[in-house]
Amino acid sequence: MKKSVLKCEHLCKTYYSDEVEFNALKNVSLEINEGEFVAIMGQSGSGKSTLLYTLSGMDSITSGEVFVNGRQINEAKPKEMTKIRRENIGFVFQGINLVSNLSLFENIVVPGYLTKVSRKEIDSRAKKLFTKMDLDQQVNKLPSQVSGGQKQRAAIARSLINQPNILFADEPTGALNSSSGKAVLELMSEFNKEGQTIVMVTHDIKSASYANRVIFLHDGRIDGELNLEKSKMTNKTKEEKKIFKYHSMKGR
């Protein structure tokens, strides 16, 4: 049986600003199993980033429950939460946020040095990730001295340094041109084939087609779901048919 690594039930998130309430997530329930590559799609403002932030414990929820590896994280104390996040969760942010005065190497190893794992082990993991990401020539450069695609790949390497159970990525190709975007998606797909569970937000059909399952968000609610491995082409919307087409072009 597949192991459930991420689950939320009746998740609601309300933002309060200047006494105005805004319900960004309305009763969202979903479950993701180990090894899945899930894309979350929806228009700008539909709640995609909010969903990723609340599922990864980076932001609080208003009501409902969130479980990571069977553990209810929305009740965890801040210190415990930091530990759960560090050990279980990797996060690639919307817009790359590497530390500008650290080299790519330093950016990648820092989250690793904050754990109990030895520096030797972290350095060796970083080296392997660099080679895989084709960044060997870039390790000693600052983020401002490398390309957008290289920065994004470094951000992914950083999110993987602690070998997280779940990799969350918020529009990982949003800031890239199509060829560097494709390279990043292919890399993520490769990590997924090696067993990495991935939850990726995107508004782009081609990017979503790299996933095995697509969840559609509309106005803070789940509006549909597409299983690219199991379901058939029949009774699909235009958008879903396109995702299927691109998915099948990848020769799976």
Site residues (vs Mg ion, CB under 5 A)? 49
Report the partner that residue 141 touches, choosing among ligand ATP, Mg ion, none (CB closer than 5 to 8 A by kind): none
Nearer to Mg ion by C-beta: 24 or 161? 24
Scan for tokens 């039930």, then name that residue.
9
User: Which residue in 3, 15, 218, 229 binds ligand ATP (CB under 6 A)?
Assistant: 15
Cα first-last separation, the chain = 23
54 binds ligand ATP (CB under 6 A): no
Could you give the angle at which helices 104-113 and 148-160 cross, rounded to 10 degrees? 20
Shortest Å, Cβ 201 to ligand ATP? 7
User: Which residue in 48, 125, 158, 213 binds ligand ATP (CB under 6 A)?
Assistant: 48
218 binds ligand ATP (CB under 6 A): no
Of 45, 79, 59, 76, nearest to 12 by C-alpha is 59
Q: CA–CA separation, 88 vs 68, rounded Å?
A: 8
Q: Are 159 and 191 in contact (CB under 8 A)?
A: no
Shortest Å, Cβ 174 to Mg ion? 9
Q: For the chain, list the strands marked E by DSSP.
A: 4-17, 20-33, 37-41, 63-68, 71-72, 89-92, 166-170, 197-202, 213-218, 221-227
46 binds ligand ATP (CB under 6 A): yes
Per-residue binding string, ligand ATP, 74-103, x by CB under 6 A, is: --------------------x---------
Please report, as ranges, the residues that interact with ligand ATP according to CB under 6 A. 15, 17, 22, 24, 42, 44-50, 94, 203
